[in-house]
Amino acid sequence: MLECRNCGAGAPVDEHFCPQCSRILALGRHGDCFTFLGLPRKLLIDPQDLERRFRELSRKFHPDYFYNATSAERLASLERSSYLNDAYRALKNPVSRIEHLLAIEGLPSARSEEGTTKVPPSLLEEVFALNEELDEIRELREASEDSDRLLVRLANARKPIDAKRDEHERQLQELSARWDRLLAVSGVEGEPATAAEKRATLDALRERLLERNYINNLLATIEREVSGLQAHASRRGATVSPNS
Amino acid sequence: MSKVVGIDLGTTNSLVAYADNGRPVVVRDDSGDALVPSVVSLGEEGTIYVGREAQRRLLTAPSRSVYSVKRFMGRGIEDVEHEAALLPFRVAGDPGGVVRIGIADREFTPPEISAFILRELKYRAEEHFRERGDFDFEVDRAVVTVPAYFNDAQRTATRDAGRLAGLEVLRIINEPTAASLAYGLDKRNRGTIAVYDLGGGTFDISILKVEDGVFQVLSTNGDTHLGGDDIDRLLVEQVLAEIAGPKEQDAATVEAIRRAVIQAKWDLSDIDETEIRIAPSPAARAGFRRPITRVEFEDVIRLLVERTLEPCRQALADAGLQRSDIDEVVLVGGSTRIPLVRRVVEELFGRKPHSELNPDEVVALGAAVQADILVSGRREMLLLDVTPLSLGIETMGGVVSKIILRNSTIPASGREMFTTGVDNQTGVDIHVLQGERELAADCRSLAHLHLGGIPPMPAGLPRIEVRFQIDANGILSVAARELRTGIEQTIEVKPSYGLTDAEVEQMLIESFEHAEADVEARLLIDARNEAESVMHATERVLRRPDFAALAAEQLEAGERERIDAALAELKAVIAGSDRVVIQEKTHALNHATQHLAEVTINRTVREALAGRNVKDV
């Protein structure tokens, strides 16, 4: 419960304005971006609906409209606007939306450092192949091998990683849809069965996110190699041209 | 009810506007001019001149005059040293501290100089409301605009300037966003807008989405040191290189050259060829004339103009948009009158930019709209702006940990946990930075915070939550709490390039003292002018060819002697600094000459009538 600082009435924690005196309520400890925006904890959301909710609540909370209000209301407006902006940002992006869901469902963060340094088992094969190829390309570059040919090899090395990433996007999409289905039935059908299934879905989502972070790091490594080679090539081009 | 205005505090020009029944109107002087040159000059007798008069004094008293002070707002001496060489005024300050501007024996911080400009605008608006017949014409609150890419220190400096000028700054809004608000008024359109704002000293690009009256900024980027001033400097350097003579040019010559190249720059927006013309002066005896074509001009400034492209591309990328997603491009700022700038913008976005509204006035109009929204409670429109730079804190090894990312919608907040490193440690120091780079050394230092009053505990046990809040002005505030005990921590903020509250208070007190001195100086000048005009009028009568005849016919005995005596007494005091004595002696002379004035006028009228009679007959 929240207590209205104006009239002292009690208000449910998800209310923005006091049901009694309709003044803006001070922001309590609020950790759920979905309910703040009046949404169920679904992962596949309509971006236009989200945006409309954001605009509507902005019009209700924004400090511009509390210029003449009491200092307590001005503070409440500032805090609610800030929270709204953060919540909108968190839900707008599909990946940060999943991360937020995992957090409020009590799972450890998928962003933690260990997740990115340990090779996920499902990626072992790809990572091994890529590292070998990268080592070889670096050696050849030291030996002044033609940059264009190395760039082609890098592009080829990237392909399986890209494919993995696409597959992951698909899986995230599927798991999200499954979560939403479970959420819809959990109220109607037998709790225990869906609770276990929900947990399994969340764990799978978390796994995919960890792998996704790892894949993104691999892609970033390839990008660095590419730009290194390109810079190398253009430097060589620059030193050659005055003589020609 | 006292009045609220919108102010565009520009690098080159400033102006003030207000909303009349929701419609924004710019305040103009009697000649229809809305622009107040952002120039401040300190007179020998202590008077502060602002605007056109100060601009004139740039030629006659360059070392006592300051322009483009906006470039120094919230900056340190190490930021501006490279450009100080060509400026007529002294730029000083301790490394790592606020810039100080020296005029004669006085020193000013940039907010104080800006406050003089704001005071002039406040005065102009009050005069306007008074002449309109408003009972309460006092202007005590304002929305002031800043470049979107201004950092926290620059915004805070602007707010301090408002305070020093006796204005409550209701809101600081970004110039490109303000411009979009002014445009949105006419069109009520929806869609995605790019606002390209190239002013006298700064460049901004903002991408906005407009829907249901909500103006939501998606991304912003820019350069707070890129504008018309830089174009002028390139041309001045070119002319200096061509002029034969001593390499060290005096301030007056540089100022004369600056004027000439600015005129040529303006010309070349309309015609293909002109001349940089510098009149002969004691400093530059021969004068200088040099033809310049638009093509030549464009070659000189091309690289500079192209520096605006990368921020535009970055803003598009940050908004997650392609250039084809942009529905409208709006031009703001005087430098967008340059044809090359228009071409470059058109090429980049692939569409013809809008410039229906005067690019010099559109920002002030938008500020007036925002001021109206704040005080009237009108809800048709809402601005949702972003913070242009990421906010972070320095961590181990000088690396920056980001807490609020750039282009986050404001107000925005972030939290960070801290603990202690040794047993019973009661304080923690935090270095707050702004910028996109990884290392603290490459980011902008905002402030050093000292958290105090941590309850004594073993090392690592306290859990101190620090909350960073960026308000709707884009200005940061910080609060901290130890979570185990719930004790609020005290925070001392030492701004890196700003004034402390105590310093602003002190300046406010000094400015009141000086304000009295300034008013006194102005009154003294007025008294002298009045005395001089009475003296001249009297002497003119005494020199009349027919004065002897007139005196013989009409003056009483001793009258001439009384007049001569009063005249001599006034002459003796007029150069002095006692205003009251000057006024007394002026009054005495007026009194002594009253009868003379009457008879002179009668005689003149009689003669005029007589003459006409003769002709008429």
For the stretch B441-456, pLDDT in tens is 888 888 888 888 888 8
Residues of chain B falling short of pLDDT 70: 1, 185-189, 244-249, 281-286, 511-519, 521-522, 525, 610-617
Q: Reply yes or no on whether B197 is catalytic.
A: yes
Instruction: Provide the pLDDT for residue B283.
Output: 57
Portion of chain B with pLDDT greater than 70, in percent: 93
Please tell me the distance in Å from B26's CA to the nearest CA on chain A.
Answer: 22
Residues forming beta bridges with residue B273, ordered by sequence position: B293
Chain B residues within 8 angstroms (CB to CB) of chain A? 170-171, 211-212, 214, 216, 370, 373-375, 377, 379, 382-384, 408-413, 469, 471-472
- Asked whether the beta carbons of residue B413 and residue A67 sit closer than 8 angstroms, the reply is no
Contacts of A1 (CB under 8 A, 6+ apart): A10, A11, A12, A13
The fold for domain A2-92 equals Helix Hairpins (1.10.287)
Helices H / strands E in chain B, number of each? 16, 28
Mutation for A interface: B384, B408, B470, most A CBs within 10 A: B384
Partners of residue A51 in chain B, C-beta under 8 Å: 211
**Cross-chain Cβ contact A85/B375 below 8 Å:** no
- How close is the nearest chain A Cα to the Cα of B289, in Å? 39
Q: State the smallest CA–CA distance between residue A136 and chain B in angstroms.
A: 30
Active-site option among B120, B152, B160, B197:
B197
Distance of CA B71 to the CA centre of its chain: 10
Nearest C-alpha neighbor of B144 from the set B374, B405, B308: B374
Q: Report the alpha-carbon angle B494-B498-B500, nearest 5.
A: 55
State residue A225's pLDDT score: 80
Region for residue B2 given its phi and psi (left: phi exceeds 0; alpha: psi -120 to 50; beta: otherwise): beta
Catalytic residue flag (residue B175) = yes
Which two tokens mark A63? Answer: 């400090």
**Which tokens is B420 given?**
């202690």
Task: Tell me if B260 sits within 8 A of B281, measured CB to CB.
Answer: no
Q: Do A68 and B171 touch (CB under 8 A)?
A: no
Q: Is B314 exposed, middle or buried (0-12, 13-18, 19+ CB in 10 A)?
A: middle
Low-confidence ranges of chain A (pLDDT < 50): 113-115, 239-244
Q: Which amino acid is at B495?
A: P
Q: Are strands B100-103 and B106-108 parallel, antiparallel or unpaired?
A: antiparallel
User: Within an 8 Å CB–CB cutoff, is residue A79 touching chain B?
Assistant: yes
Nearest CB to B373: which of A51, A64, A86?
A64
Residue B59 contacts residue B251 (beta carbons within 8 Å): no
Q: Tell me what the pLDDT averaged over chain B comes to.
A: 86
User: Given this model, what pLDDT does residue A244 score?
Assistant: 35
Amino acid B614: pLDDT: 47
- Inter-chain touch A64–B471, beta carbons under 8 Å: no
Rounded Cα distance, B118 and B368, in Å? 15
Any B CB within 8 A of A17 CB: no
The one-letter code for the residue type at B516 is E
Give dist(CA B60, CA B76) in Å, integer. 29
Q: Which of B126, B175, B255, B482 is catalytic?
A: B175
What's the pLDDT at A242? 40
Best residue in B1, B214, B402 for a mutation probing chain A (most A CBs within 10 Å):
B214
Show residues of chain B in contact with A79, CB under 8 Å.
413
Identity of residue B200: G
Pairing of strands B168-174, B39-42: unpaired
B8 is an active site residue: yes
- Smallest Cβ–Cβ distance between B214 and the set A55, A68, A89 belongs to A55
B561 is a catalytic site residue:
no
Residue of chain B whose alpha carbon sits nearest to that of A51: B211
Instruction: Please give the pLDDT value at position A115.
Output: 47
Residues shown for chain A: 244
Q: How confident is the model at residue B187, as a pLDDT? A: 55
pLDDT value of position B207: 95
Spell out the domain ranges in chain A: 2-92, 113-239
- Considering only CB atoms, A85 lies closest to which of B212, B382, B409, namely B409
What ipTM was estimated for this complex? 0.80
Interface contact A81-B214, CB threshold 8 A: no
Question: Smallest Cβ distance to A65: which of B211, B214, B377?
Answer: B377
The per-residue pLDDT for B545 is 82
- Helix B175-187 crosses helix B362-376 at what angle (to 10 degrees)? 80
Distance CA A172, CA A132 (A): 29
